[in-house]
Copies of this chain bind each other. A is one copy, B any other.
């Protein structure tokens, strides 16, 4: 353990701060944990790569058994396809203006799936497909928790959209849902209940399609909390989840991970103090951490992040309590620390666990992946659209 810690410290001291650090053993643990759970539940697993936007991370997920990936932008789809991933679900509702980019990917051999939740978009897809002689593989987005997009499983519109697609020459590939409201719960019972609601709603939608004589091969559900809380996944064919690969403080508050499973942190340097206030000033502000304050309304508010030593071990009770663009304010929760200057002298390297890994990762052009066996590697991260 000490040898590992010394290696970590030595490697990280070579980096400019702020920097995004991936703890590779923790990431591999998280990947193995999720994949083994999916294997036990008898479903395929399609990780959402919007969390990492990093091919090295996706490789690790696929090596562990993942079947294809989920993306949040067509730029991600192109990047991961260039990297050899062919089975890709673009999980944001398709609109006419994005069909040329989707067509281009399919023409290059990408097995891209697209989604819709409206007759208007379904019509645009089939009209475009007819014009260009392309059979798009389209899944219908189902709303199982009122969280965002999708058609409710019992709505008439489900069959309307399905028939537009099926009759219009698209391949009606299946149904998909995302119970994003699972982030709002923090007990095993509530998480199991929302997981079951997500499963049952999506399976109901599939059943309605099949009962109407329509095809529905895929039943795709998921979010990190529901994937980890589901008691069974009867009728489901695949699960999607993203943030589990790194986890974060929001997920810790939800109750699906321990703090020592958090694989993403921000390396920072102490650059000053306001001793009377008990503040250390660090060079990770909101530009590094992101403006995400997802723990603010949860059972424990970590400010802009939890402070750790450079070896990754927690400094309990110390958080990033404030942030400007390139300045973070590190302080003790509750009473100010009168010994803040001695505890964290200028130049001290620290690591900060983020509220929301997807948002924090997005602030960085690359990750620094640290693996005790292989040392430090730079993994680029996709940016923009």
Query: Could you tell me which A residues sit within 8 Å of B by CB distance?
Result: 16-19, 50, 72-73, 92-98, 101, 117-118, 120-121, 124, 143, 146, 148-149, 180, 269-274, 277, 281, 283, 286-288, 290-293, 324-327, 329, 345-347, 356, 358-359, 362-366, 383-385
Q: Chain B residue with minimal CB distance to A96?
A: B347
Q: Provided the pairs A281-B148, A362-B287, A385-B18 are in contact, do residues A50 and B325 lie with their beta carbons within 8 angstroms?
A: yes
In the complex, A286→B356 CA distance in Å?
Answer: 12
B346–A95 touching, CB < 8 Å: yes
Q: Chain B residue with minimal CB distance to A292?
A: B291
In the complex, A366→B327 CA distance in Å?
Answer: 24
What residues of B have a CB within 8 angstroms of the CB of A19 in the complex? 385
User: Copies of this chain, how many?
Assistant: 2
Separation in Å of the A137 CB from the closest CB of chain B? 18
In the complex, A96→B272 CA distance in Å?
Answer: 12
Separation in Å of the A298 CB from the closest CB of chain B? 15
Q: Helix, strand, loop or mixed for chain A's interface?
A: loop
Separation in Å of the A160 CB from the closest CB of chain B? 14
In the complex, A179→B205 CA distance in Å?
Answer: 56
In the complex, A134→B297 CA distance in Å?
Answer: 50
What residues of B have a CB within 8 angstroms of the CB of A17 in the complex? 97, 385
Choose among A97, A146, A358 the residue with the greatest number of B CB atoms under 10 Å from its CB.
A97
Per CB-CB distance, the 8 closest pairs between chain A and chain B, nearest first, are A291-B291, A365-B384, A93-B271, A291-B292, A72-B326, A120-B346, A93-B272, A95-B271
B180–A92 touching, CB < 8 Å: no
Q: Chain B residue with minimal CB distance to A120?
A: B346
In the complex, A18→B384 CA distance in Å?
Answer: 9
What residues of B have a CB within 8 angstroms of the CB of A120 in the complex? 345-347
What residues of B have a CB within 8 angstroms of the CB of A326 in the complex? 50, 72-73, 92
